[in-house]
Each structure stands twice: as structure tokens, then as C-alpha cells.
A and B are shown apart, each in its own frame.
Chain A
Amino acid sequence: MGEPVSCAAVQAFYEALASRDPVRLAQCLADDVEWHMSGPVDVLVFCGYRRGKAAVVDYIARLVPSMFAVKRYEPEEIVIDGDTAAMISNVTSVQKQTGRILTYQTAVFVVFRDGKVVSVKGLSDTFDMAEQVVGHRIDAYREPDPAAAKDVIAL
């Protein structure tokens, strides 16, 4: 475990995250920052892995806002220990394509080095998020129709 992170550095990062301001974000991130949000990337395109300051700033300040207008980003719980901070937040967004309001909780574990963010790992209730993004309840138990998979060739 590295040097303990200050509450001020943690707060500055979360405020930059909520603001989606690329300049403020860039000031908080290490050059080699890694960002991993678990989830089905084919449904939730904001999930997946990004590496490097430019990729992460582009992701937060351009990609996510191009699809969702974040209206509320409210921390519910923050735990700080050593060089790492963990937070659960309540997020309210508007899906730009449909105007639908999405509400969900997301948890991030953020590792700092010399006051800069070097790693972010995020988890959300992705089943619920997928239902909100597609706009209907999803039947988890129904097996995919093989006939619908037109790209599968029976040999």
C-alpha cells in the first residue's frame, strides 16, 4: 500500500468526476491511469477497460455525456483507507436518445499515487442498467433462439 491519500484529493477527484470537466479530470489522473467498469460492453458501451489519461478523460468527458446527461451524482457512502477510496453513489441520468430517466447505484474503488488516481474499478447492478437502457424488463431465463442467430452455420 502506498502513501495515504488525503480527503481533499479524494473529494477533488469525485467533484471532477461529477463535473465531467476534462481539465479538472486531467489534473486528478496519473498519466498511466487504468479504468475498469465491469459489465456487458455490447449493451452498456460505457463498460469496459480504458488505459491512459487521454482515454479516460475522453471516456468521462465525451463518450458518457454523448449518451447520458448526468443530472445527479450523489455519494451515499465513502470509505478511505491508505491509498484507496471506495464510494457508492446514487446516479440519475437522462438517456439522450430516448429521454428516459435512468437511476442506478454504482460503486468505485479508486487507488491514488502521489495524490493522483492510478486505478479505478467500478461495479454496478448491470442487469438493472441494461433493462433501463433497453427500456423493458429482460427475461434472464429464456434461452436465445438459435434460429435468430443468422451468423451461425450448422455443419
Chain B
Amino acid sequence: MTTDVLSAIALPATLRGRDLPPFIGDFYRAYSQRDAGLLDAILDDDVEWLLNGPADQFDMYGHRRGKAEVIELVTRILPCFFRIIDFEIEHLLLQGERVAIYGRLRARQRDTGRSLCFRAVHFLRFRNGKLIAFHGLGDTFDAAQQVVGHPIDVHTRIDPVALVPEEDALLSL
């Protein structure tokens, strides 16, 4: 299997023609095409997925466990924010069944049509050709500004909200 399988992804010249195991291309094809069937085939039943970021303000971030949660994230939740156009890889490291990727993800926001571009790293672990762990990190401050479409003022606060009114009789019990 050659890097041709990653044709949906822009590869640096140093990677073109390099022999890569098929599971890398299978995963990124499923991910970028948001194809539930392809995802079902490449994900391990107990896959662990972690995308670091402000999960309480952007549903795409956070931890997911299991095939169903990851398929829901990729096919339903992520497209609410943007549609991936391409992933330009600057570094692709492979050590056994572990993969580390640094690149630039280009996307288009569904509601506004705006073009987005994020730097991202993905650390992937495969076992027997199935993805068992995904850990993504990115410049989330920049990503959040692009998604909301305006500069973020770090002095704006999210005030804590009391879940129970202070005068609630239950609190005095």
C-alpha cells in the first residue's frame, strides 16, 4: 500500500510514494468523508477519542468512547460546525501501529460559508488494523475565533449559574 491511498489528503513531497499501512488512509478517508460505513469498518468497538478543547462551548471537543459515540461525532456533530475540505500534512510519523500527524485542516463553515484553517496534531493508535485511540490537539483559541467569527476577548467571563435557587427549601434541609 502506498501513499496514493491518502489522495484526499495533501502530503508533503517527502511522503509521496512512501509505503504506508492501509489503516491510515482508511481512517482519514472515513473521517474526511464522514462515512458511517467506512468508520464502522475502521474503528475498534472500544475506541477512545479525545479532542482537547472547550467542550462546554463547542460540542466537537471532549472525550468519546466506543464506536457509536465516535461515529455520531464525525457524521453528525462535526458537520454542524464545518465540513472538512482537506488536511495538508506536514509531518506523518509511523512507529509500528502508532501514528503521529501534524498538519493544517481546511474546512468550510456550514452556516456562513466561511473558510476555516486550523493547525492540528493527531496521535493515533491502531490494533489489528482498527483505530483504538485518537488524541487530537490544536490551537483551540484560534479555532474558536474562526468558528465564532470574531476576536475573543479574554476578559469576557462565563458566570457560574446556580443549578438550584438559593432560596430553595431543599438547601436548608
B-facing residues in A115-131 (Cβ within 8 Å): 121, 123-131
Q: Can you list 13 residue pairs at the A/B interface with Cβ under 8 Å?
A: A38-B119, A77-B100, A79-B98, A125-B52, A127-B54, A127-B144, A128-B52, A128-B140, A130-B154, A131-B54, A136-B158, A140-B145, A144-B153
| Distance from A141 Cβ to chain B, minimum over Cβ atoms (Å) | 6
* Minimal Cβ-Cβ distance residue in A for B125: A77
Given contacts A123-B121, A127-B53, A144-B151, contact A109 B158 (CB under 8 A): no
Residues of A within 8 A of B121 (CB): 86, 88, 107, 109, 123
Residues of A within 8 Å of B141, CB to CB, are 39-40, 43-44, 126-127, 129-130
Give the size of the chain A interface in residues (CB under 8 angstroms): 42
Contact assessment for A139 and B156 in the assembled complex, using a CB-CB cutoff below 8 Å: yes
CB distance from B155 to the nearest CB of A (A): 7
The 8 closest A-B pairs by CB, nearest first: A86-B100, A81-B93, A127-B140, A126-B141, A125-B52, A137-B158, A79-B100, A38-B139
CB neighbors of A among B32-52 (8 A): 52
Known contacts A86-B93, A109-B100, A128-B54; is-contact A144 B150 (Cβ 8 Å): yes
Taking A88-B135, A126-B139 as contacts, is the C-beta distance between A77 and B154 under 8 angstroms? no
